[in-house]
Amino acid sequence: MLLREIAGLELQLDDQGFLADRSQWTPDVAEALAAEAGITLTPRHWQVLTFCREDAAREGVPPGLRRIAKLSGIEMKELYQLFPKGPGKVAARIAGLPKPQGCI
C-alpha cells in the first residue's frame, strides 16, 4: 500500500497503482492518473471510462476488454490507440476500478 498526493487528495494506491478506496475517485483524480500514464483524456477516453464505471457498478466487477469493445461503442483497435500501454489495465486504473481478472 502506498500513499500518494494526487489532484490535491491523499490517495491510497495498491502496489500496482490502482486506487485502494474507490470512493476517493473523482474526475480530477482520473485526469491526474491519466497524465501519469502519459494520456490526455479526450471525450473518447471518457466514453470508455464512464462505461467501465457504470458497468462495474452494475456487475460488481470491472469489465473485460472484449466486453468494453462490444458495449462501450468504441472498438478494439481504437481502445488500443486510446490506451496504448494496454487498455485492460490502464483504463481500469484511471477509472478507479480494480485490475480486471479476465484475460480477454
Q: Which residues bind another protein (CB under 8 A)?
A: 1-5, 9-10, 12-13, 15-17, 21, 23-24, 36-37, 64-67, 69, 75-77, 80, 84-90, 102-104
Q: What is the 3-state secondary structure (H, E, C) of the chain?
A: CEEEEECCEEEEECCCCCECCHHHCCHHHHHHHHHHCCCCCCHHHHHHHHHHHHHHHHHCCCCCHHHHHHHCCCCHHHHHHHCCCCHHHHHHHHCCCCCCCCCC
Q: Is 52 marked active-site? A: no
In the bound state with another protein, the residue whose beta carbon lies nearer, of 7 and 47, is 7
CB of 35 to another protein, least distance (A): 9
- So which residues are the catalytic ones? 103
